[in-house]
Amino acid sequence: MISGFRLMWMMVMFDLPVVEKKDRKAASKFRKLLLDEGFDMCQFSVYMKFCGTRERTTKYVNIIKEKAPSNGKVSILFFTDKQFEKIINIFNREKYELPRRSEQYVLFEDITAEN
């Protein structure tokens, strides 16, 4: 099994203008792109995806660079599965546990177990 220190997650955070109708449309299109690419929404402008390895993030970085709206700010962060498991979320003043493994992680783990 691959170490949790090598398994990679990717987070996309953005602050896009939404005052003009064309800007709202561009922001909505960008959110839909992220969902279509398999990202999960954590907050309205924060999306995450388990990518497996660092090399597999390149595809998504290129798509985001190409499709990001011309206005606003988009940031991409990378972190390991071990770092991901230490995230603390508070919802309504109570600690909220994220699911330990995404469906993608379970699928990836099954594939690597065969080899």
- Three-state secondary-structure class, residue 50: strand
Record the pTM. 0.78
Residue type, 92: N
pLDDT tens per residue across all 115 residues of the chain: 566 677 999 999 999 999 999 999 999 999 999 999 999 999 999 999 999 999 999 999 999 999 999 999 999 999 999 998 888 888 888 877 765 555 544 444 444 444 4
Tokens of 35: 């969902």
Tokens of 100: 């330990």
52 pairs with which residues across the strands? Answer: 8
The structure tokens 């699928």 sit at: 107
The CATH number corresponding to 8-114 among 3.30.70.1560, 3.30.2000.10, 3.40.718.10, 3.30.70.240 equals 3.30.70.240
* Gyration radius (Cα) of the chain, Å: 16
- Three-state secondary-structure class, residue 75: strand
